[in-house]
């Protein structure tokens, strides 16, 4: 460790006013140790340590996703195509704590171990404080290739970009999602195209909740779908400044487990350009034996 708290990792630490300076410095170091321990659990593929250093929120979300994709847990945790970045060689610009949430903002050659020459970018690590202490809750990579001015500012010591609210912990610990109890029988994805609008989609009695804002994307349906009746609910609202007459699409795709087989599209809500979507609605379909055989390749 170099000189004092204002120099350690070039950090700004926000903690309760009663905390002492050396406590602040210890917290900065501790959060880094938590990330390094989590990263080591990923590299060594150690499920016990992964659970030890990962927040309950992230564990539940990861398990739900893996089981919804019909992948094994915890083995599937370690099948990521990239390696967690080593923050030892990165410069910590900000370390902030707000109640039971924290974020560390790093800058430098963020290397995910995929080859090539990493460039200078921003990497943000989020933490949650639980009864057992601080836990890793996620990492976010901010690519500055399209923001060359920001990269230049940071290189010169101007950190105003990372002082925006997106990089500041809000002090709110999200409610734990409902945990599914086993592997989904069939894999499904929610697809939405909603320029100028906000679309919320829910399924499986609220277990799977999705928010799309002025975007085009697809997300895994938590819990998948089952034999027989399946239902989705959706809401649509305009975003200020958006085009209220733009096209809108909501679809549900069922993914085959057989390579080369196209997904099924049992549900679709489409609003053509110039049309007015319903503010809310429900879509249902029945997964029958023929569909099941197609998805499973039987």
pLDDT digits (tens, 9 = 90+) for 27-36: 999 999 999 9
Can you give the pLDDT at residue 8? Answer: 30
Give mean pLDDT, residues 236-265.
94
User: Distance of CA 24 to CAs 6, 105, 128, 293, Å?
Assistant: 10, 16, 17, 59
CA angle 105, 109, 112 (to 5 degrees): 90
Taking only the tens place, the pLDDT of each residue in 110-127 is 999 999 999 999 999 999
Lowest average pLDDT, out of 22-31, 93-102, 169-178, goes to 22-31
How many Cβ atoms are within 10 Å of 261's Cβ, its own excluded? 12
Give mean pLDDT, residues 210-227.
97
Domain with CATH 3.10.450 in the chain: 8-167
Please say whether the structural domain 8-167 has been given the CATH code 3.10.450.
yes
Give mean pLDDT, residues 89-109.
96
């Amino acid at each position: 460790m170099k000189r004092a708290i204002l120099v350690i990792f070039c950090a700004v630490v926000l903690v309760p006013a009663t905390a002492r300076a050396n406590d602040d410095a210890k917290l900065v170091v501790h959060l880094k140790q938590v990330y390094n321990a989590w990263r080591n659990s990923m590299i060594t593929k150690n499920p016990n340590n992964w659970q030890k250093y990962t927040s309950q929120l992230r564990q539940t979300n990861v398990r739900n996703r893996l089981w919804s994709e019909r992948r094994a847990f915890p083995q599937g945790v370690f099948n990521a195509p990239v390696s967690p970045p080593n923050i030892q060689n990165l410069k910590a610009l900000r370390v902030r704590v707000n109640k039971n949430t924290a974020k560390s903002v790093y800058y430098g050659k963020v290397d995910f171990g995929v080859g090539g020459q990493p460039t200078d970018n921003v990497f943000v690590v989020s933490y949650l404080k639980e009864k057992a202490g601080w836990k890793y809750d996620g990492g976010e990579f901010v690519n500055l290739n399209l923001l060359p001015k920001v990269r230049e500012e940071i290189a010169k010591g101007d950190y105003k970009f990372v002082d925006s609210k997106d990089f500041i912990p809000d002090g709110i610990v999200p409610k734990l999602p409902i945990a599914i109890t086993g592997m989904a029988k069939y894999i499904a994805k929610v697809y939405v195209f909603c320029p100028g609008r906000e679309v919320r989609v829910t399924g499986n009695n609220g277990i799977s909740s999705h928010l799309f804002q002025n975007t085009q994307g697809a997300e895994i349906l938590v819990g998948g779908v089952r034999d027989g009746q399946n239902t989705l609910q959706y809401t649509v609202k305009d975003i200020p400044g958006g085009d209220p007459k733009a096209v809108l699409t909501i679809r549900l795709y069922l993914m085959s487990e057989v390579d080369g087989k196209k997904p099924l599209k049992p549900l679709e809500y489409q609003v053509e350009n110039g049309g007015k979507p319903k503010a809310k609605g429900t879509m249902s379909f029945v997964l029958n034996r023929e569909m099941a055989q197609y998805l499973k390749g039987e």
